[in-house]
């Protein structure tokens, strides 16, 4: 089986490469060699690789910058994904497309299922939803959309590594405690993607680690596990603060816990709590 991974330099792309099963022949690429906004490069790579599957882990992910850079965000997350889906259909391949919890507005008080009605409030969320809709319209049953949230890895920039850097240099740290979700180790998500491919799953599914946390809870856990692993040598005060303390251009979902039961069951995944996965990721940093 041949697989083309798009977005190889990102957190998930990097994890997909190192977790790829031995029996799968993969080719990985990223911008500028393959540009979702350029159908020519998409055609070139798909024709060259002739993949059975394409995994799209590429996206415009700067949530706040997207509020001003709307055109670029829309080009990558909607138009680019539409271009890719058209080529996938032409090549008679299959697509696994990664999406986000930001397609929901966060006003619900129970975990969002894949069938819940999306209602994004940010440019990022709206552009990602339009990408989903384009994929569904063009490929119908030959695609799998996986929504995830709060992604981090030992590779790239993310909340965990940013917090560790702050904890090494600041005495007092303020972290929002009103926004609720679930941290997701990209390594676990990558394994879930490969499991879904092996099972030939289609439709829309959700994946994060197990459990629930606020950003404040996540930060406290990062410090405790960081000290335990030896990355940090002391504990700094971490203060819970409301969202209003950190105003941002883009509105974040206040509650973005995703219901993962259908994916865990259909892909045969044994869920791990987010804190256990955080501990494993920090060992890599050590």
- Is the CA virtual torsion 102, 11, 43, 1 positive or negative? negative
pLDDT value at position 171?
80
Q: Is residue 57 part of a domain?
A: yes
Structure tokens at 230: 């030896």
152 catalytic, yes or no? no
What is the residue-wise DSSP string for 76-138?
Answer: IIIIIHHHHHHHHHHHT-EEEEEEEGGGS-S--SSPBPTTSPP---SHHHHHHHHHHHHHHHH
Among candidate residues 193, 159, 172, 137, the one with its CA nearest the CA of residue 18: 193
101 is in which domain, residue-wise?
2-158+183-209+257-272
User: Considering 112, 124, 187, 207, which one is annotated as catalytic?
Assistant: 124
Q: Is residue 283 part of a domain?
A: no
How far, in whole angstroms, is CA 145 from its chain's centroid?
A: 11
CATH code for the domain of 21: 3.40.50.720
Contact indicator for 184, 274 with CB cutoff of 8 Å:
yes
pLDDT value at position 139?
96
pLDDT value at position 229?
95
Contact indicator for 122, 250 with CB cutoff of 8 Å:
yes
Q: Is residue 130 part of a domain?
A: yes
What is the average pLDDT score of the chain? 96
Rounded CA separation 102/219 (Å)? 21
Contact indicator for 211, 273 with CB cutoff of 8 Å:
yes
What is the residue-wise DSSP string for 223-278?
Answer: HHHHHHHTS-SS---EEEE-GGGS--SSPPPSB--B--HHHHHHHT----BHHHHH
Q: How many domains does the chain have?
A: 1
Sequence-ordered strand ranges (E) for 7-47: 25-29
Q: Is residue 22 part of a domain?
A: yes
Q: Is residue 123 part of a domain?
A: yes
Rounded CA separation 171/51 (Å)? 51
pLDDT value at position 286?
85
Q: Is residue 75 part of a domain?
A: yes
* Sequence-ordered list of residues with C-beta below 8 angstroms from that of 133, at least 6 positions apart, any chain: none
∠ CA 28-30-34 to the nearest 5 degrees?
100
User: How many CB atoms are located within 10 Å of the residue 250 CB?
Assistant: 17
* Sequence-ordered list of residues with C-beta below 8 angstroms from that of 236, at least 6 positions apart, any chain: 167, 170, 171, 172, 173, 223
**Maximum alpha-carbon separation in the chain:** 56
pLDDT value at position 142?
87
Contact indicator for 149, 182 with CB cutoff of 8 Å:
yes
- 286 residues of the chain, pLDDT tens digit each: 999 999 999 999 999 999 999 999 999 999 999 999 999 999 999 999 999 999 999 999 999 999 999 999 999 999 999 999 999 999 999 999 999 999 999 999 999 999 999 999 999 999 999 999 999 999 988 899 999 999 999 999 999 999 999 999 888 899 999 999 999 999 999 999 999 999 999 999 999 999 999 999 999 999 999 999 999 999 999 999 999 999 999 999 999 999 999 999 999 999 999 999 999 999 998 8
Q: Is residue 33 part of a domain?
A: yes
* Sequence-ordered list of residues with C-beta below 8 angstroms from that of 83, at least 6 positions apart, any chain: 36, 37, 39, 42
Q: Is residue 201 part of a domain?
A: yes
């Amino acid at each position: 089986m041949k697989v083309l991974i798009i977005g190889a330099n990102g957190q998930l792309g990097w994890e997909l490469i190192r977790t790829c099963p031995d029996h799968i022949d993969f080719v990985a690429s990223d911008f500028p060699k393959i540009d979702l906004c350029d159908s020519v490069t998409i055609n070139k790579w798909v024709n060259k690789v002739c993949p059975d599957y394409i995994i799209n882990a590429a996206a415009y992910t700067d949530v706040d910058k997207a509020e001003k850079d709307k055109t670029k965000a829309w080009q990558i997350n909607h138009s680019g994904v539409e271009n890719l889906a058209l080529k996938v259909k032409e090549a008679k391949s299959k697509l696994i497309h990664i999406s986000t919890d930001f397609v929901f507005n966060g006003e619900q008080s129970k975990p969002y299922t894949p069938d819940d009605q999306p209602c994004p409030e940010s440019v990022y969320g709206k552009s990602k939803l339009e990408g989903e809709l384009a994929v569904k319209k063009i490929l119908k049953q030959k695609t799998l959309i996986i929504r995830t949230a709060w992604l981090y890895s030992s590779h790239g920039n993310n909340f965990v590594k940013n917090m560790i850097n702050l904890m090494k240099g600041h005495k007092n740290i303020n972290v929002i405690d009103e926004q609720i979700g679930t941290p997701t180790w990209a390594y676990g998500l990558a394994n879930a993607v490969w499991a879904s491919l092996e099972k030939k799953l289609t439709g829309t599914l959700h994946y994060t680690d197990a459990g629930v946390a606020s950003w404040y809870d996540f930060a406290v856990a990062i410090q405790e596990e960081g000290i335990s692993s030896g990355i940090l040598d002391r504990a700094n005060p971490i203060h819970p603060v409301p969202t209003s303390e950190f105003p941002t251009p883009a509105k974040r979902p206040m509650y973005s816990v995703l219901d993962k039961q259908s994916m865990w069951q259909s892909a045969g995944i044994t869920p791990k709590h987010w804190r256990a996965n955080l501990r494993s990721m920090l060992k890599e940093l050590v």
